[in-house]
Amino acid sequence: MENENKELNIILMGPPAAGKGTQSELIVKNFAVPHISTGDMFRAAISNKTPLGLKAQEYINAGLLVPDEVTIGLVEERLCQDDCKKGFLLDGFPRTIPQAEALDNMLAKFNRRINAVVLMTADDEVLTERITSRRVCPECGASYNINTKKPKVDGICDVCGHELIQRKDDNAEAFKVRLDAYAKQTFPIAEHYAKQNVLGKVDALQSIEEVFADIKKILLEAK
Ligand code: AP5
Ligand code: MG
């Protein structure tokens, strides 16, 4: 692992379909941090029909953000678990200024802070193309693409053998709402982290390997 003696608290941010889940898999293989995706946590809650899932599902299917009070509590609980003590990778959180401020406060209580925020950038046309060709595994969360990251057997997850599906919010209508939510509510948090001198930008239009090489550089230089 690249970060054996260093605490690494990472945020991966970027518009929907930028490749956050794809790059998270590679980061976890190279750096000893747990992957915390609020989207994956909500989807698991929806498939288990928990009270959280019932609350979140209408927002998610419509492409809207789940309210801050629900999301912040969920992340706070997760970050208190033992595997986060030496670092973590947040994918899809924070997504609003109040979430970013709440995260800063949670960490400050334990004398901790965010070391690196990786901002993945891409244009809407490419993102729309990626979203319509994405297939995901509802069982283990692995993400594929029928053009750029094909599973070994058509329609079947390489990792767990489950049948692949398209996410409910991966339709043109919900995707427009997600892009809009990103531009209006999430993108402004980049400035919040630029002020803390922890923001690094990566061109997400490159190949999966090239994007990861840039991310790795940012994480190795993180202080
Ligand atoms: P979430 O699950 O976080 O979805 P998202 O941000 O819309 O992002 P995606 O998961 O769709 O895309 P990704 O960036 O992970 O891309 P991927 O790697 O799959 O959130 C879903 C919903 O949950 C939200 O809309 C909201 O309702 C709710 N939610 C979650 N967090 C919340 C929060 N904090 N507050 C409030 N609400 C919250 O890649 C996409 C495709 O492209 C794949 O097919 C992949 O194979 C392909 N690909 C990836 N990289 C490349 C590349 N470099 N070249 C070519 N193809 C590529
Ligand atoms: Mg994702």
Query: pLDDT tens-digit profile of 116-175?
Result: 999 999 999 999 999 999 999 988 888 899 998 999 999 999 999 999 999 989 988 999
Query: pLDDT tens-digit profile of 51-104?
Result: 999 999 999 999 999 999 999 999 999 999 999 999 999 999 999 999 999 999
Q: Is 208 helix (H, G, I), strand (E, B) or coil?
A: helix
Say what the pTM is: 0.95
- What is the rounded distance in angstroms from the CA atom of residue 151 to the CA atom of residue 60? 26
What's the confidence (pLDDT) of residue 2?
74
Pocket test for ligand 1, best of 11, 12, 13, 20 (most atoms within 8 A of CB): 20
Cα-to-centroid distance, 222 and ligand 2 (Å): 23
Q: What residues flank ion ligand 2 with Cβ within 5 A?
A: 20-21
Query: String of b and e for 52-76 (b: at least 16 CB within 10 Å)?
Result: bbeebbebbeebbbbebeebbebbe
Cα-to-centroid distance, 47 and ligand 2 (Å): 16
